[in-house]
Structure 1
Amino acid sequence: MNLTKLRYVVAVDRQGAISAAARALNVTQSAVTKAVADVEQDVGAALFERHARGVTATAEGRAFIDRAARILADVDQLVADVDHGRQTREQVLRIGVSPSSMEGLMSRAIWALVGAHPEVRIHLRGAPFETALQLFRQGDLDALIGPSRPLMAEAGVRCDPLPPLNALFFVRRGHPLAGKPVTGEDLAGLPLIVPEPSGPYAEPIQHLVQAGEVDPMRRLHIMPSFTMAAGVIERSEAVGVVVDSYAQSRHFRSRFEILDFPQQTSLPMAVAYRSGGQRGRALGWFLKAVQEFPPTLGAEMP
């Protein structure tokens, strides 16, 4: 006995005829007839009395059918409650961004998403890559924006490519190195500010911090917050790293200068999300927004 057969039996009772129940259920009359016969065999009693105009429930059938109807109603309510809960969860979208300094570059995508779908609630979290990846693995993030190569190596994950991240060195306006060609030796004696000390974002500058006899970590400021790093750079001789998309903005150019240093290799980026199961509506909306306004292309912080 299964729920489908119970639905057929309840439909026969409500319609008063097997043929009418078949039409209401949009199935064949033989399917309904067989379902009724199967349930009667399982119960060990006749559920209906057959007559020329249709059927009526027997005494035993009446008790069984009424209880079956209550069970089906409970099941339908349970499914509706689960679906409502799923839709409610879809309204909260948990997005990871790595490194944290890229959080501000998500502004245009988030503005577009919330503007078009005000019912969505965004939980945006920036973190070092290894931390963000662990959060994503354990289900605490619905999507993660980061370097594509390690994300594509994750099992059960789909990655949509984004424009690559191009990192540039920058300093305060009036810095001694501003406005002239710069070499690695010129940077060797200056403190560097990076969002994280290791991982894919640190690779382009590892050869710089490893030069010389000084412990590389003693040369670094590690500041995930771009706002904090920018404040230090404005007040010191320190050198920072900025995404080239933001480096083109008027706000950045009014405060800082890009060093004339050979550009590092571009880092392919992607937005990752789980490939299994049905993709939620809110996630689909976010993926569309981040493709239209990728954080590594044409970004403008508020």
Structure 2
Amino acid sequence: MNPSRSSLPSSYRAAGRPERLLRSAISAFCSIPRPTRREIIQLDDLAVPLLDFASDETLRYVSAALSDLPYAPPRLVRRLAALPAEISAPILMRSPVLTDIDLVALIGRHGVSHARAIAARPNLDERIAQLIASITRLERSAPDKAEQTRDQLRAMMRPVDTLEEDEQDAEVHQEPGYESLKAAALTGRAHEFHRALSVAIGISVHGARQIVEANERAYLLACLRVLELSEEQAFLIWKCVRPHGIYTASAIADFLHAYEQMDGHKAERIVGEWRTLDRAANSPGRKAALRAS
């Protein structure tokens, strides 16, 4: 027996009309011009358990109905997006609720079928479009490599259909340093990220900017490693701050390898040297040079 069935109220099971209830709830929600947070949560709580009882036809209706709504419940949208592409296509192609990180995770978990639907999204990030093209080519010419690439994406990204409770638990364990870096990086304003990085690693804003803008990528990688960021956290920060260069599946694999090779001892040494250089640069009469790494 599907575990989710036990969570469905007995009155709904007895009535034998979960599909009708689901359709009615979705229809009512779509008629609300600007739903409140409480109404969004209510639909999430009601609809998610009903998905396992719905026919493909009803699931396609729900997917199409919610696909254009900016206020659609995120957990419900992500559950729908994880369904087979013939059902989830409207969500994959149009939903504004799905973030770029969600899209990359979906490609990693579900492969070409979802990737093709995502490719039809208007204003799709060019980097994701190039990733889709790369995986599609690999699927035709080297299926084993395509699967390996998806494995790497799956390892980097959290499952998109994780329940809200699990997401909240994960947030509790995230380091404050990561949260501030992520918030600054997602603004797209370089000076805000420089300021957040300077606070996180104990360096001046000018020094943080030099690290971010340096041609040597090991400097920023070392900072992320010192802050004990996971692979998916480091990748998100990197893509926001230095988006150029990670366009293909092989480039993603190269980034993951470089981050894995940046061990804690080496990272501490590199960041320590930057701190020394930064103090010297801000102390009149003193000079220091950063040792080549």
Give the TM-score of the pair, scaled to structure 2: 0.23
Give the TM-score of the pair, scaled to structure 1: 0.23
| Bigger RCO (CA 8 Å, 6+ sep) | 1
Structure with more of its chain in strand, by fraction: 1
Structure with more of its chain in helix, by fraction: 2
